[in-house]
Amino acid sequence: MKTIGVIGGIGWSSTIVYYRLLNERVNRKKGENYSANILMYSINFGTFSQQERLAEKGNWNILTDTMLDAAERLKYGGADFIIICSNTMHTLADAMVKHTGLPVIHIADATGTKIQKAGMRKVGLIGTKYTMEQGFFRNILLNRYNVSVIIPDESEREIINTVIFDELVKNILQENSKEKYLTIIDNLIRNGAEGIVLACTEIPLLIEQDDVSVPVFDTLTIHAEAAVDYALNLSV
């Protein structure tokens, strides 16, 4: 079994779920008392969120250094590959591969594979403003898996982003925020989305499949499954 290098803490509430899912899937695949070989580096989100604000203004240097430092720590700790417990920070996945020489299991590739297997050609995507507005996730779905992506309008993107950073990363789950998310999701479905991608690892804490009338692609769970399959040599 390969050792999974986990960059967590972005935020801690979803990292907890990653840890549980990684171990549960290994146990299901291996049986008995097996659990995952995991090496985790958890980032201080208080400092990290300040760096994200700088990145929003165009200065990615400090944030990039923090992520590459985390990846390097995992490499020298003995990780065989890396997963990032954040959709947004996959914008630095290629830089991590180049910096460490370790494979990074990309959350968009894992998700694209699932959508393609489901036979869908158009999905709605919700996540941080950066993930919704930038191309690093959407371009992978379109160019590698022939899946087009629609996103909420500007005011809806602001609502989604505010809930993520003011509530979900702190493990605050509010019913009125859930209702707002479901209204936005319904709008995406009316605009032709065949499925909904929860492209922030905190959103599945609030929204579940039973809440939505079309298939939901929970990127956290999909990513954790892909990581275990790679660790156990069940996929390439």
Same-domain status, 112 and 161: yes
pLDDT for residue 49: 76
The predicted-structure confidence for 121-133, as pLDDT tens digits, reads as follows 999 999 999 999 9
How many domains in the chain?
A: 2
What is the pLDDT of the chain when averaged over all its residues? 94
Report if residue 170 sits inside a domain: yes
pTM for this one? Answer: 0.93
Report if residue 195 sits inside a domain: yes
User: For 196, phi and psi rounded to 5 degrees?
Assistant: -125, 125
Report if residue 236 sits inside a domain: no
Same-domain status, 72 and 101: yes
Same-domain status, 88 and 61: yes
Same-domain status, 37 and 57: yes
Decide if pLDDT at 236 tops 60: no
Report if residue 71 sits inside a domain: yes
Decide if pLDDT at 48 tops 80: no
Same-domain status, 102 and 197: no
Q: What is the CATH number of the domain that holds 146?
A: 3.40.50.1860
Split at pLDDT 50, 70, 90, the class of 235 is low
Report if residue 171 sits inside a domain: yes
Same-domain status, 163 and 66: no
Which tokens in the block code for residue 35? 């659990």
Same-domain status, 81 and 37: yes
201 touches 220 (CB < 8 A): yes
Same-domain status, 111 and 96: no
What is the mean pLDDT of the segment spanning 214-224?
A: 98
Same-domain status, 122 and 162: yes
SS (H, E, C) the chain: CCCEEEEECCCHHHHHHHHHHHHHHHHHHHCCCCCCCEEEEECCHHHHHHHHHHHHCCCCHHHHHHHHHHHHHHHHHCCCEEEECCCHHHHHHHHHHHHHCCCECCHHHHHHHHHHHCCCCEEEEECCHHHHHCHHHHHHHHHHHCCEEECCCHHHHHHHHHHHHHCHHHCCCCHHHHHHHHHHHHHHHHCCCCEEEECCCCHHHCCCHHHCCCCEEEHHHHHHHHHHHHHCCCCC
Same-domain status, 53 and 111: no
Same-domain status, 157 and 194: yes
The predicted-structure confidence for 71-108, as pLDDT tens digits, reads as follows 999 999 999 999 999 999 999 999 999 999 999 999 99
The predicted-structure confidence for 4-14, as pLDDT tens digits, reads as follows 999 999 889 99
Report if residue 72 sits inside a domain: yes
Report if residue 144 sits inside a domain: yes
Same-domain status, 148 and 83: no
Residue 77, domain extent: 4-106+222-231
Count Cβ atoms within 10 A of the Cβ of residue 199 and give its class: 0-12 exposed, 13-18 middle, 19 or more buried.
Answer: buried
Report if residue 26 sits inside a domain: yes
